[in-house]
Amino acid sequence: MVPLKRVALVTGASRGIGKAIALRLGQVSDITVVGSSTTESGAKSITQYLQMAGIEGQGIVLDIGEPDSIEEALAEMTKTAGIPAMLINNAGITSDNLFLRMNIEEWSKVIDTNLTGTYRLIHACIRSMIKQRFGRIVNLSSVVGVTGNSGQANYAASKAGIIGLSKSLGRELASRGITVNVVAPGFIDTDMTRTLSEEQQAKLLEQIPMGRMGQPEEVAHMVAFLVSSEAAYITGETFHVNGGMYMN
């Protein structure tokens, strides 16, 4: 029998979009939130902000680029919260460089973390979802996964791969009550974009019909919809949250 409270695992939840997702899902009465960070301090900060918001949940240490870390984190979750019925793959890295100058280490690290790490975590969680005949998987891609971006061949390839992976899994898992969808944010107002110069930000805004950056909460609302019962008949889709920067 499916438990009354389902566990949602949100990776990369110490700040930015991941934090907004964890807080938004925590507002749903039947969800226990577990947020991950690659560091102990990050995991503690997740536990603290969840507690301050009155949300049932905790932070854990998890590095999606390390198979052992995934195994250890899921073992801890099973003991303290439960096996994930909802998985939000938000964690990722960048290592930007023009392709001509990009070495194999820069390429491999981004692909292995963003794409292979997503594969590893889904693969580790999927059996329990199949057994329960319920699962919600939401993978975070990016606008550059569909448009490309100079200096980000590795990142764009990893995010495009996530879209292809999600479509394939959507077909494979639909009959088991599991949905797999993608949310592809555009330029969102986070710590990373705030480090850009005024000139760089102005150039970005010229590409966005709405004339502003998105808020992390606007991405989080889309994720919350996709894990809800209202989205039970949606799978294999990519939802673009980018202010009109890319229209499919």
The one-letter amino acid at 178: I
Q: What span, in angstroms and rounded, lies between the C-alpha atoms of 160 and 134?
A: 26
pLDDT of residue 248: 84
Residues 6+ apart with CB under 8 A from 207: 245
What are the tens digits of pLDDT across the range 59-98? Answer: 999 999 999 999 999 999 999 999 999 999 999 999 999 9
pLDDT of residue 1: 41
pLDDT of residue 2: 45
pLDDT of residue 204: 87
pLDDT of residue 4: 62
Low-confidence ranges of the chain (pLDDT < 50): 1-3
pLDDT of residue 3: 47
- As annotated, the active-site residues are 155
Half-sphere exposure of 133 (CA within 13 A, CB side): 2
Sign of the four-CA dihedral 58, 134, 215, 36: positive
| Contact yes or no for 184/156 (Cβ under 8 A) | no
What are the tens digits of pLDDT across the range 174-203? Answer: 999 999 999 999 999 988 778 778 888 888
**What three-state secondary structure class fits 202?**
helix
Helices (H) and strands (E) in the chain, counts: 10, 7
| Contact yes or no for 183/21 (Cβ under 8 A) | no
Residue range 6-237 forms a domain whose CATH class is: alpha beta
